[in-house]
Chain A
Amino acid sequence: MIIGLQIIALIFAFSMIYFVMLHYKRGEIGRSEIFSWVIMWAVAIVVIIFPELLRTFASTFLVTRVFDLMVIAGFILVISLVTSSYIRTKKLEKKLEEMVRHEALKKAKK
């Protein structure tokens, strides 16, 4: 039987698939990106509906409850996404700075 928490998680997962599709239609993300995001959220939906599937993984990693395993996995995912997003932003900042400074030096007004 699906409980309230699962319903909320399902609504969230389906909403994320909708937003991913939306960004794809707007041309903001590519085909490979939409594919990986949809796969990721589809796996999440399966796990939300059938959490017992993770029982074996949970016992392998000595985690008592499946819910705890999902929380740990969620944390790892969020931290890695934030880190990669931070590195990308820094790279973009650097490129932008170089471009603006180069342009300023090229168009010096005397």
Chain B
Amino acid sequence: MKIFIVIPFRNEEKHIGLVVKGVMKYKLPVVLVDDGSTDNSESKIKDVRPPNLTLLTHKINLGKGAAMKTGADYAISSGADAIIFMDGDNQHHPDDILKFIKPLESGKFDAVFGARNFNYGVPLIRFLGNKFASFILTMFFGIYISDALCGYKALTKKAYEKVRWETTGYGVETEIIARMGKAKLKFLEVPVRAIYHDKTKGVTILDAVGIMGEIIKWRFTI
């Protein structure tokens, strides 16, 4: 099974080199998507000089959803059978990749979702927001994912083709779950570790309000 790793990032000069180094040892093809960075992220990647790496660059910032879609489209057109998505801010532990590979290769699941444990340092507000999102998604789409907003996940080619999203921003994680619920795809949740380096980045309360609005919209449009 040909598995690609897709990592969207923006202005991650402090972390992107470490992320790339961390995933290199698995010798999987890596697709990095620079979503309009204005810092030296690209030179940090070049410093690492990884093999099997492709860098795609959005000239302007479109959002996480658009960056993930660009990376996934590239992976699929390059022959990927499955894609593992990771965040570019080094919050996901590269060694957890193995937890995704085994269920994907078993052929029993269409998707594998990472679930952060509260004991691994998820801030309380994010934990509560996640639980609320999970609750709403279960009510609207009949699918329960314990960590709805976790960016560490894997999709098979079949699943990607069924859930290919429209959202360009942070709502991508919840849209994937909503479409999974509608398509009734098989999935597994695996525990993953998360480290928060920068509390000012990622989903803000305003983003969360927007995501809730989008979930209601998808209830009637998906």
Q: Which residues of A contact B (CB under 8 A)?
A: 93, 96-97, 100-101, 103-105, 107-110
Contact = CB atoms under 8 A, between A and B. Distances in A.
B131 interface: no
Contacts of B168: 93, 97
Given A101-B70, A105-B70, A105-B74, A110 B62 contact: no
A101 B62 contact: yes
B55 A108 contact: yes
Interface residues on B, range: 10 to 19
A100 B58 contact: yes
A75 B75 CA distance: 49
B56 interface: yes
B54 A109 contact: yes
Nearest to B52: A110
B33 interface: yes
B38 to A, nearest CB: 15
Main secondary structure of the interface of A (DSSP, over half): helix
Nearest to B63: A97
Given A101-B69, A104-B70, A109 B58 contact: no
B57 interface: yes
A108 B62 CA distance: 17
Nearest to B31: A108
A93 B168 CA distance: 10
A32 B53 CA distance: 52
15 contacts: A96-B62, A97-B168, A100-B66, A101-B66, A104-B56, A104-B59, A104-B70, A105-B70, A105-B73, A107-B56, A108-B56, A109-B55, A110-B53, A110-B54, A110-B55
Contact of A108 (B60, B66, B74): B74
Given A100-B66, A101-B70, 14 more contacts: A96-B60, A96-B62, A100-B58, A100-B59, A101-B58, A101-B62, A101-B69, A104-B33, A104-B59, A105-B73, A105-B74, A109-B54, A109-B55, A110-B54
A108 B34 CA distance: 11
Nearest to A93: B168
Contacts of A109: 54-57
Contacts of A105: 56, 70, 73-74, 77
Contacts of A101: 58, 62, 66, 69-70, 73
B182 to A, nearest CB: 22
